Amino acid sequence: MTKPASAVAAPATPCPSLFSDSGNLAQDLVEAYLAVRNETERRAAPLTPEDQLIQSMPDASPAKWHRAHTTWFFEQFLLGEHCEGYKVFHPDYAYLFNSYYVSAGPRHARHQRGHLTRPGADEITAYRRHVDAAVVKFFRDAGEDTLKTIAPLVEVGLNHEQQHQELMLTDILHAFAQNPIPPAYDASWKFPASTRGSEEWVTLNEGIHTVGHTDDSFHFDNEKPAHRALVGPVKLARNLVTNAEWLAFMKDGGYSTPTLWLMDGFAVVGNEGWQAPGHWREIDGEWQVMTLAGLKPVDPSAPVCHVSYYEADAFARWQAKHLPTEMEWEVAARAGQLNDAFGIVWQWTRSAYAPYPGYRAIEGALGEYNGKFMVNQLVLRGSSLATPGGHSRISYRNFFYPHHRWQFTGLRLADYAT
Ligand SMILES: [Fe+2]
């Protein structure tokens, strides 16, 4: 499920392309499509039908829903709009499995996705097979001009499905973490090895840098346009914050010291009763953490995971530091100066998720993909242990609300360099 340590220690510029370039576009599309679709099913394979139904909180979705929604995406936007004569698998599925695309029609309430015992997991498997067969036939039958036209849409659909592959794991882990008898998603799973080094800080002198996605390879619209930004002077931690450092923060009363917290954050701490990162349990005086391999002792040397923006911000203040901006993160990452930038935990930044200068959402229903979420959320950079191979990008902008912590989220620190 996870990438091996060698893949986790990603190069400074991970390659995002899903398509090979064999000169046969139909074949390239078929191979890329089936590879991503099969990865979803591989991730779902350890889950029972009961596992696939659960929605343990409104922000999470059932695995069955992820499998169906990603299928609906291809049915709605690819087959429905470009494949003449395509017959939908079931007339009600568009209502059930549309997520938030208002322009694609009405949809089932998000917080009630776990109420649907029917269609069952087997019916969703049949739905996936129906759509997969139609898509592959479409790729094989369509002419070169049509394929060139729809290839960018296919790439969006595949990257969309990869995003849901990650969510499928974070969501089932949250569900399993609620279980007093903690199940293992994969008993042989291991937390990825960290590549931290002894050199602590990288200094970025004041300078103007280009940030954002710079070429025509695949990217989401929120990564463009590339633009120039003034960065520094600042110091960034080369290493991620560890569980040992987090335990010291807890021992020092971090969660109960109001001066360390943003007001909204301290309210959440009180309301939720937070005393430790998400999925942690104190058993006989020892801290354990729920992982994809089940409940495990907290490893002091591993990067801390499942912390919210509020917690990351409070920890930084406790250290008399702060969180980097997304621009600082990107400049340091492009220079290859950040250890574990990819493949372990998404890293909170203190940048608001806002449009880049010159940003325009793409036209049509897919314009709802990113742009309408550009308020009240914070940007995370890098990628996590659950991010599928080939999905990471140095300009990638993930985003969540500041109280969210069920994703694989951690942090690195920044300090002023004046
Ligand atoms: Fe989606």
pLDDT digits (tens, 9 = 90+) for 93-126: 999 999 888 888 999 999 999 999 999 999 999 9
For residue 366, how far is its CA from the centre of ligand 1 (angstroms)? Answer: 11
Determine contact, residues 64/46, Cβ cutoff 8 Å.
no
Fold of the domain spanning 201-415 = paralog of FGE (formylglycine-generating enzyme) (3.90.1580)
Distance 156 CA to ligand 1 centre (A): 11
291-339 tens-digit pLDDT? 999 999 999 999 999 999 999 999 999 999 999 999 999 999 999 999 9
> Does the pLDDT of residue 11 top 60, yes or no?
no
Query: For residue 394, what is the DSSP state?
Result: T
**244-267: burial string, b at 16+ Cβ within 10 Å, e else:** ebbbebbeeebbeeeebbeeebbe
Residues in the chain: 418
Q: β-strands 409-410, 346-352: how paired?
A: parallel
To the nearest whole percent, how much of the chain has pLDDT over 90?
Answer: 89
The alpha carbon of 105 and the centre of ligand 1 are apart by a number of angstroms equal to 15
pTM: predicted TM-score of the whole model, two decimal places: 0.95
How many angstroms does the Cα of residue 101 sit away from the middle of ligand 1? 9
When pLDDT is cut at 50, 70 and 90, the band that residue 21 belongs to is confident
Ligand 1 midpoint to CA 164 (Å): 7
User: How confident is the model over 403-410, as a mean pLDDT?
Assistant: 98
Q: What is the 131 CA–ligand 1 centroid distance (Å)? A: 16
Q: Which of 198, 224, 192, 196 is nearest to 211 (CA)?
A: 224
52: left (phi over 0), alpha (psi -120 to 50) or beta: alpha
pLDDT of residue 16: 52
Is the bond preceding residue 233 a cis peptide, omega within 30 degrees?
yes
Query: What's the chain's average pLDDT?
Result: 94
Q: Is the pLDDT of residue 3 over 80?
A: no
Residue 74 CA, ligand 1 centroid: distance in Å = 11
Q: Tell me the per-residue pLDDT of 226-242, one tens digit each, with 9 for 90 and over.
A: 999 999 999 999 999 99
* Ligand 1 centroid to residue 93 C-alpha, Å: 14
pLDDT of residue 9: 33
The gap from C-alpha 317 to its chain's centroid, in whole angstroms, comes to 26
The domain spans of the chain are: 25-177, 201-415
Per-residue pLDDT at 417 exceeds 70: yes
And the tokens for 296?
Answer: 């495990």
Which residue has tokens 């600082």?
Answer: 328
- CATH number for 25-177 (one of 3.30.780, 1.20.140, 1.20.120, 1.10.3680): it is 1.20.120
Query: pLDDT tens digits for 361-386?
Result: 888 888 888 889 999 999 999 999 99
270 CA to centre of ligand 1 in angstroms: 32
The yes-or-no verdict on residue 13 having pLDDT over 60 is no
Ligand 1: centre distance to CA 72 (Å): 9
Which residues, in sequence order, are CB contacts of 48 under 8 Å at separation 6+?
Answer: none
